[in-house]
Chain A
Amino acid sequence: MLAKLENVTRRYGAKDGVSDLNLSLEAGQAVGLLGLNGSGKTTTLKLLAGLLYPSQGKVEVVGKLPRDARGQVAFLSDSDNLYNWLTPADAERLMRSLYPDFRPERYKELLGFLEVPIKPYGAMSKGQKARLRLAMVLAREAKLYLLDEPLGGIDLISRDRIMQTLVREWREDGVIVISTHEVAEAEGIFDRAVFLKEGRLVLDAMAEDLRQQGKSVKDAFLQVLI
């Protein structure tokens, strides 16, 4: 097992971000973290990334506390959080200085495959920005990749490229967790679908098992969450 949450609750003031969450992630899995807005997807990813601490319960990544495992965790935030003047080359220098596991050759390949233009971040389209940020994260040699809405609100071609890249980058010794609204489009790339509703885990199933029962992951999503 690569990472786990055990009876994890995270409160924001009086409100629970996630409640009594149990989840264990096995190497080789691509996990879809699915739920509506405010269901606790981002909270769950941030708990795994060590960016939030649980109010109760325990989070472990490669047998350590997440904050001690940060070198093994690559997190793609859903916010537009880079400087406007930053070019792909600047981004490379930044990532190299921050992360010893950053692989420049891999980064160059990813920029090529994702067709990231050579221009400042501020001059890129939304989809180009998303592709650059994905290249930065996937160029790391991490064990746990946490991608928060990598497909959210971007053009079709960018989405297609991003999904192909995610499949190409899949590794047997790592886990990719992807939160998304675009269930119908992305569901093929998940092994496993974890559904959150109001901070609670309501269904945790293998995608092919759902299809065996005659449901797509999207059908299950609608059944469980709406």
Chain B
Amino acid sequence: MWNLDNEAGPIYAQIVKGVERMLANGRMKPGDKLPSARELAAELKVNPNTVIHAFSQLEIAQISETRRGLGTFIRDDVNVEGMKLRLLQEAAQRYLGEVQGLGLTPEDARKALSSLNGQFKENGNAG
């Protein structure tokens, strides 16, 4: 669910990304309570400082809020649709980077994507 990778940049940033991804795919919803920093740290086997740092970043980004004595919650006003689009944009950027790295054109990229159309629908129906 979290997919932490020590080779993939700071762990706090991966935790932030993990929360965004879970919000985008519906595994987490506005108003949901996040585990305590210590619980999550034990689950992920990472330093609690790292989780605290990740939570503070989520709060600065106005994705979560701390309710006194109750814990940390996903804000009710978080824009899940916007988040989905942003994650899609980021994925598109990575894809385009790969295409350019191969010396191919945006036209090739579009063709490759539309050739996957059938597959996409099948997966869409199944999910």
Q: Are B45 and A188 in contact (CB under 8 A)?
A: yes
Q: How large is the interface on B (under 10, 10 to 19, 20 to 34, 35 or more residues)?
A: 20 to 34
**Segment 171-199 of A: residues with Cβ below 8 Å from B:** 184, 187-191
By a CB distance below 8 angstroms, the chain A residues around B80 are none
Complex contact B49–A28 (CB within 8 A) = yes
Interface residues of A in 87-142 (CB under 8 A from B): none
CA distance A33 to B118 in the complex (A): 53
Instruction: Decide: B42 and A168 in contact? CB cutoff 8 A.
Output: yes
Greatest chain B CB density within 10 A among A189, A211, A212 is at A211
Q: Which residues of A contact B99 (CB under 8 A)?
A: none
A-B contact count (CB 8 A): 58
Residues of B close to A160: CB separation below 8 A? 45
Question: Which residues in window 38-96 of B have CB below 8 A to A?
Answer: 38, 41-50, 53
Query: Complex Cα distance A157/B38, Å?
Result: 20
A167 near B42: Cβ-Cβ < 8 Å: yes
The number of chain A residues with a CB under 8 A from chain B is 24
Is B9 positioned at the interface, with any CB of A under 8 Å from its CB? yes
Q: Which residues of B contact A189 (CB under 8 A)?
A: 45-47
Q: Does the CB pair B4–A208 fall under 8 Å?
A: no
Task: Please tell me which one of the listed residues B4, B10, B45 contacts residue A164 in the complex, with CB atoms under 8 A apart.
Answer: B45
Q: 1/0 contact trace for A190-226 toward B, CB 8 Å?
A: 1100000000000000011001101111110000000
Nearest A residue to B45, CB-CB: A163
Asked, given contacts A188-B6, A211-B10, whether A168 binds B47 with beta carbons under 8 Å apart, the answer is: no
**Can you spell out 12 A-B residue pairs with CB atoms less than 8 angstroms apart?**
A28-B49, A168-B42, A188-B44, A189-B47, A207-B47, A208-B11, A208-B50, A211-B8, A211-B9, A212-B9, A216-B6, A218-B6
User: Which residues of A are at the interface with B, using a C-beta cutoff of 8 A?
Assistant: 28, 30, 160, 163-164, 167-168, 170, 184, 187-191, 207-208, 211-212, 214-219
The residues of B with any CB-CB pair to A shorter than 8 Å are: 4, 6-12, 38, 41-50, 53
